[in-house]
């Protein structure tokens, strides 16, 4: 009997401790002063409209964006018709080893530029009180997706709250004060694009259009409604003036005439004025509290799925985020400075950087977990609108013309934005990307025909935009090293395959993912040619390796080549995935047979004289060995097909590239090092990514401009690009869990600095969710859950086990737990 009681107690204890304890500290960015630059402002967004909040009581600026506001119109699918005749000429030049000629002929395979992302306008909330402001605080609470500003002026405590909500499709701002009749302010709309603002009663209406021909381009309508509690409101020109109010609520909606990639925005676009007016006026029937509650619960439905804590100390987040970031950076740099000494002591540099520890550990943990959750916040806030995935800056850009057009850059940047999405339990946020890929397919069929003479399948080149442009850019004049790359379709479909792997949704695979993947593979299958040096091998020609240049044995520096490694890595991965998908769907036909054979014939990876993975067909030197792209490592990450026996060569390549790079590139390298199982090096680069960078337009004596992180934790390429944020978030997952189609590894690349921690709600390929806790670098406790009665191959603390998930209580959930 005693034994039975003991056993029951033990079992009870086991099941209780299998519940992972993961209370993370409050996640918030906060500052003790208003923003002067947009890289200090706080972003809010509902996937379509967004705002950057500066929060100065004298002139509170809110930059406004709408993810559907771009220049241009539907692409001309006749573009480049006939250009494909040059492909044979370029091949001839290449196979004669005349790379200079090949580079110059590539200009015949270039088309027009992408469209530009445009800003909607700026909202100003102008205070008329010149008295000093004290006790100022500006906070972005990412646990609830609310921004707050608090300050005292003339003895009155003021509070402002801001959010952008998906359910009600608007930005809401509420101004309150702790003394009646204290709010005196002007509310104004302006824009950099051509526009007109009208004030009527308590409403501002701004109509504008994107740059370019007014009769062709996208138009936009912003409606702002103001409700006052007490006091008076008067409107004139572009301004509403509030006097003596107790509280003020502002609702702002925006709609554009964008009606889909094929719709002309003027004639067949959306009825934006009516839509905007309806959306604004529906607020007349609801209270602010209702709108706010709907917003918070809608946001938390996604956000609350994942909790992450590091260490065991609780940190109360008492330091302003910019200070936290600066101090963190100083510790990183101090350790870097010590590296010389560490190296002479026989330590490898990465050990030196990963053993920073001391009383500031809690601050490090605070910033590192905050950055991870901020990536999730940014994705929920910018990726929810049909067919419009996040652009280079998410959806936040104050510029009339954003850097790099703010476009979809297909040779890494757009894909990197979605690397964390499935793993961090935000699968729904991949929908806009999936819709966009379908539009790319529709246009890419013509690019394949017109530019490459291929009638099966589709392709996409370097730059795209809201019109789903697929043709090469460059206008016949630009460098082939970036314009002439045509593997964008083959790369981007890895996202739809991953969506299947994470969800096990066969219906999705059959109806959506497989046709897109197959179309991309059809193009690649036709694009491959026989290697003139080894006719039993297949290569691509012409080929480029995104933005990189080689130096041939004869000293020619160029970009166009044959058999580039990254092309072949992307094609290899795609063919493997298409065949796996066909297997799941029970499809076997001439096409699957053809690509299975082609897979075996692909020119293999080769290792160069320095022991690195060759980027080029020949063992040529890279013109810039520290180049930010490392596309030949595609098969290591994001792909899975680099054979493990080449991991040493991949490691050598990364060592030769070095650690200093742009934001997104650092984000990529975190993931690459994690895939190599080197958690300390991955962590080292996480610290690099989180190095303080000054706002782009700040040029004071203490200005720092490099890859890193701005005061508002936006990623610095520089300038701001959001891909680095998402690459960093994905990198955290990759250090903590490896989930490949073949199995799950817990803590595959845990940095020494993260020896204790817990994470819950991380999704894995194969349709599982994992919660786990670890101590002293070893998993102490984990639970793997699924909605299906699956088995899982799990590698944990050095042991591999095949585990069967068992039904859990009355829930439709199956799980397996282990406590060590």
Q: Is 28 in the site for ligand FUC (CB under 6 A)?
A: no
Mask: binding to ligand FUC, 499-538, rule CB under 6 A, as x and -? ----------------------------------------
Q: How far is the CB of 591 from ligand FUC (least distance, A)?
A: 32
| Residues of span 464-503 touching ligand FUC by CB under 6 A | 482
Q: How far is the CB of 112 from ligand FUC (least distance, A)?
A: 17
Q: How far is the CB of 547 from ligand FUC (least distance, A)?
A: 5
| Residues of span 578-637 touching ligand FUC by CB under 6 A | 628
Nearer of residues 283 and 407 to ligand FUC, judged by Cβ? 407
Beta bridge partners of 750: none
Non-local CB neighbours of 774 within 8 Å, separated by 6+ positions: 747, 750, 755, 756, 757, 758, 780
Among 69, 299, 404, 408, binds ligand FUC (CB under 6 A): 404
Taking the mean position of all CA atoms in its chain, how far away is CA 746? 24
Nearer of residues 721 and 818 to ligand FUC, judged by Cβ? 721
Q: How far is the CB of 409 from ligand FUC (least distance, A)?
A: 4
Q: Is 785 in the site for ligand FUC (CB under 6 A)?
A: no
Q: In this structure, how many other beta carbons lie within 10 angstroms of the beta carbon of residue 316?
A: 9
Nearer of residues 317 and 721 to ligand FUC, judged by Cβ? 721
Q: How far is the CB of 721 from ligand FUC (least distance, A)?
A: 6
DSSP string, 127-160: E---SPEEEEEEEEETTTTEEEEEEEETTEEEEE
Beta bridge partners of 816: 784
With the C-alpha atoms ordered 22, 26, 28, 32, is the resulting torsion angle positive or negative?
A: negative
Mask: binding to ligand FUC, 425-464, rule CB under 6 A, as x and -? ----------------------------------------
Q: Is 388 in the site for ligand FUC (CB under 6 A)?
A: no
Taking the C-alpha atoms of residue 209 and residue 120, their distance in angstroms, rounded to an integer, is 9
Nearer of residues 28 and 628 to ligand FUC, judged by Cβ? 628
Q: In this structure, how many other beta carbons lie within 10 angstroms of the beta carbon of residue 789?
A: 11
Q: How far is the CB of 463 from ligand FUC (least distance, A)?
A: 8
Q: In this structure, how many other beta carbons lie within 10 angstroms of the beta carbon of residue 398?
A: 19
SS3 513: helix
Nearer of residues 409 and 712 to ligand FUC, judged by Cβ? 409
End-to-end CA distance of the chain: 26
Q: How far is the CB of 361 from ligand FUC (least distance, A)?
A: 33
Q: How far is the CB of 545 from ligand FUC (least distance, A)?
A: 12
Nearer of residues 144 and 665 to ligand FUC, judged by Cβ? 665
Q: How far is the CB of 407 from ligand FUC (least distance, A)?
A: 8
Nearer of residues 30 and 485 to ligand FUC, judged by Cβ? 485
Q: Is 547 in the site for ligand FUC (CB under 6 A)?
A: yes
| Residues of span 105-144 touching ligand FUC by CB under 6 A | none
Among 24, 185, 329, 409, binds ligand FUC (CB under 6 A): 409
Non-local CB neighbours of 499 within 8 Å, separated by 6+ positions: 422, 427, 430, 434, 505, 508, 513
Q: How far is the CB of 411 from ligand FUC (least distance, A)?
A: 6
Q: Is 413 in the site for ligand FUC (CB under 6 A)?
A: yes
With the C-alpha atoms ordered 640, 642, 648, 649, is the resulting torsion angle positive or negative?
A: negative
Q: How far is the CB of 83 from ligand FUC (least distance, A)?
A: 22
Nearer of residues 392 and 517 to ligand FUC, judged by Cβ? 392
Q: How far is the CB of 392 from ligand FUC (least distance, A)?
A: 6
Nearer of residues 413 and 540 to ligand FUC, judged by Cβ? 413
Q: Is 65 in the site for ligand FUC (CB under 6 A)?
A: no
Nearer of residues 409 and 560 to ligand FUC, judged by Cβ? 409
Q: Is 717 in the site for ligand FUC (CB under 6 A)?
A: yes
Contact at 8 Å (CB) between 553 and 486?
no
Q: How far is the CB of 644 from ligand FUC (least distance, A)?
A: 29
Taking the mean position of all CA atoms in its chain, how far away is CA 316? 28
Number of residues in contact with ligand FUC under rule CB under 6 A: 11
Q: How far is the CB of 815 from ligand FUC (least distance, A)?
A: 41
Non-local CB neighbours of 249 within 8 Å, separated by 6+ positions: 172, 173, 174, 175, 226, 227, 288
Give the tokens for residue 429: 């946020």
Phi, psi of 761 (to 5 degrees): 85, 15
**Best CA proximity match to 815, nearest among 772, 776, 770, 761:** 770
Nearer of residues 34 and 638 to ligand FUC, judged by Cβ? 638
- Quick one: CA torsion of 201, 203, 209, 214, rounded to 10 degrees? -30
Strands 768-775 and 806-807: unpaired
Nearer of residues 393 and 425 to ligand FUC, judged by Cβ? 393
Nearer of residues 47 and 546 to ligand FUC, judged by Cβ? 546
Nearer of residues 414 and 784 to ligand FUC, judged by Cβ? 414
Contact at 8 Å (CB) between 64 and 49?
yes
Nearer of residues 169 and 628 to ligand FUC, judged by Cβ? 628
b or e along 498-534 (b: 16 or more beta carbons within 10 Å of the residue's beta carbon)?
Answer: bbbbbbbbeeebeebbbebbbbbbbbbbbbbbebeee
Give the tokens for residue 118: 């445009």
Among 662, 671, 696, 818, binds ligand FUC (CB under 6 A): 662
Taking the C-alpha atoms of residue 373 and residue 428, their distance in angstroms, rounded to an integer, is 17
Vertex 309: Cα angle to 308 and 314 (nearest 5): 145
Nearer of residues 411 and 494 to ligand FUC, judged by Cβ? 411
Q: How far is the CB of 95 from ligand FUC (least distance, A)?
A: 28
Q: How far is the CB of 403 from ligand FUC (least distance, A)?
A: 7
Q: How far is the CB of 157 from ligand FUC (least distance, A)?
A: 44
DSSP state of 797: T
Give the residue ranges of DSSP H helices in 504-617: 506-508, 514-527, 565-584, 590-601
Nearer of residues 664 and 683 to ligand FUC, judged by Cβ? 664
Mask: binding to ligand FUC, 247-286, rule CB under 6 A, as x and -? ----------------------------------------
Give the residue ranges of DSSP H helices in 345-384: 349-354, 361-382
From the CA atom positions of the chain, what is the Rg in Å? 27
Phi, psi of 104 (to 5 degrees): -75, -35
Contact at 8 Å (CB) between 422 and 502?
yes
Binding site for ligand FUC (CB under 6 A): 392, 404, 409, 413, 482, 547, 628, 662, 664, 717, 721
């Amino acid at each position: 009997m005693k034994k039975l009681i003991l056993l029951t107690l033990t079992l009870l204890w086991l099941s209780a401790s299998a519940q992972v304890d993961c209370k993370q500290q409050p996640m918030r960015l906060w500052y003790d002063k208003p923003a002067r630059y947009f890289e200090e402002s706080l972003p809010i967004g509902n996937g379509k409209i967004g705002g950057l909040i500066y929060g100065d009581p004298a002139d509170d600026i809110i930059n406004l964006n709408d993810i559907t506001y771009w220049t241009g119109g539907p692409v001309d699918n006749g573009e480049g018709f006939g250009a494909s005749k040059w492909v044979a000429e370029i091949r001839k030049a290449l196979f004669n080893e005349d790379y200079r000629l090949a580079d110059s002929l590539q200009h015949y395979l270039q088309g027009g530029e992408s469209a530009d992302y445009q800003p909607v306008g700026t909202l100003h909330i102008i205070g008329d009180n010149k008295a000093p402001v004290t006790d100022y605080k500006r906070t972005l609470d990412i646990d609830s997706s609310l921004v707050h500003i608090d300050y005292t002026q003339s003895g009155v405590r003021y509070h402002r709250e801001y959010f952008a909500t998906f359910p009600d499709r608007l930005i809401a701002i509420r101004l309150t004060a702790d003394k009646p009749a204290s709010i005196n302010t002007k509310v104004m709309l302006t824009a950099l694009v051509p526009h007109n603002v009208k004030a009527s009663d308590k409403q501002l209406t701004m109509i504008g259009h994107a740059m370019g021909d007014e009769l062709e381009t996208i138009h936009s309508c912003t409606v702002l409604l103001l409700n006052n509690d007490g006091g008076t409101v008067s409107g004139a020109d572009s301004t509403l003036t509030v006097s003596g109010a107790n509280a003020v609520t502002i609702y702002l909606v925006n709609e554009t005439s964008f009606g889909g990639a094929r719709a002309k925005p003027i004639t067949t676009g959306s009825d934006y004025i009516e839509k905007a007016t309806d959306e604004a006026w529906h607020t007349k029937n609801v209270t602010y509290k209702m709108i706010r509650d709907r917003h918070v619960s809608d946001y938390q439905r996604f956000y609350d799925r994942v909790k992450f804590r590091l260490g065991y100390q609780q940190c109360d987040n008492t330091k302003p985020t910019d200070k936290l970031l600066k101090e963190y950076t100083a510790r990183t740099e101090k350790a870097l400075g010590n590296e010389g000494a560490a190296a002479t002591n026989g330590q490898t540099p990465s050990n030196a950087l990963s053993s920073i520890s001391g009383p500031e550990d809690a601050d490090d943990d605070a910033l590192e977990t905050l950055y991870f959750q901020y990536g999730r916040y940014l994705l929920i806030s910018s990726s929810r609108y049909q067919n419009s995935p996040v652009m280079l800056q998410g959806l936040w850009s104050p510029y009339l013309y954003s850097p790099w057009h703010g476009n979809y850059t297909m040779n890494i940047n757009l894909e990197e934005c979605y690397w964390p999405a499935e793993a961090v339990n935000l699968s729904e946020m991949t929908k806009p990307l999936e819709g966009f890929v379908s539009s790319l397919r529709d246009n890419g069929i013509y690019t394949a025909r017109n530019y490459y003479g291929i009638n099966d399948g589709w392709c996409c080149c370097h730059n795209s935009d809201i019109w789903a442009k697929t043709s090469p850019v460059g206008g016949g004049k630009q460098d082939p090293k970036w314009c002439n790359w045509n593997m964008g379709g083959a790369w981007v479909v890895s996202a739809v395959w991953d969506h299947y792997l994470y969800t096990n949704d066969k219906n999705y695979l059959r109806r959506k993912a497989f046709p897109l993947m197959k179309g991309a593979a059809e193009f690649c299958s036709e694009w491959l040619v026989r290697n003139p040096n080894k006719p039993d091998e297949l290569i691509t020609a012409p080929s480029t390796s995104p933005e990189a240049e080689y130096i041939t044995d004869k000293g020619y520096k160029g970009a166009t080549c044959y058999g580039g490694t990254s092309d072949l890595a992307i094609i290899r991965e795609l063919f493997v995935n298409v065949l796996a998908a066909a297997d799941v769907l029970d499809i076997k036909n001439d096409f699957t047979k053809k690509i299975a054979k082609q897979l075996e014939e692909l020119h293999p990876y080769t290792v160069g004289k320095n022991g690195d993975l060759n980027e080029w067909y020949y063992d040529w030197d890279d013109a810039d060995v520290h180049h930010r792209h490392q596309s030949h490592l595609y098969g290591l990450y994001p792909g899975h097909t680099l054979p493990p026996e080449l991991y040493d060569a991949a490691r050598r390549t990364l060592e030769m590239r070095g650690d200093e790079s742009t934001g997104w590139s650092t984000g990529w390298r975190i993931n690459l090092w994690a895939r190599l199982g080197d958690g300390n090096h991955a962590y080292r680069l996480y610290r690099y990514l989180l190095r303080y960078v000054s706002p782009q337009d700040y040029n004071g004596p203490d200005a720092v401009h490099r890859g890193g992180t701005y005061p508002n934790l936006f990623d610095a390429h520089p300038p701001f690009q959001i891909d680095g944020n998402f690459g960093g978030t994905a990198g955290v997952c990759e250090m903590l869990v490896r989930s490949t189609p073949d199995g799950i590894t817990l803590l595959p690349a845990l940095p020494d600095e993260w020896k204790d921690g817990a994470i819950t709600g991380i999704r894995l390929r194969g349709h599982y969710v994992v919660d786990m806790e670890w101590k002293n670098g070893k998993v102490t406790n984990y639970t793997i859950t699924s909605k299906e009665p699956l088995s899982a191959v799990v590698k944990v603390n050095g042991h591999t086990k095949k585990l069967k998930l068992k039904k859990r209580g009355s829930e439709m959930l199956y799980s397996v737990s282990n406590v060590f």
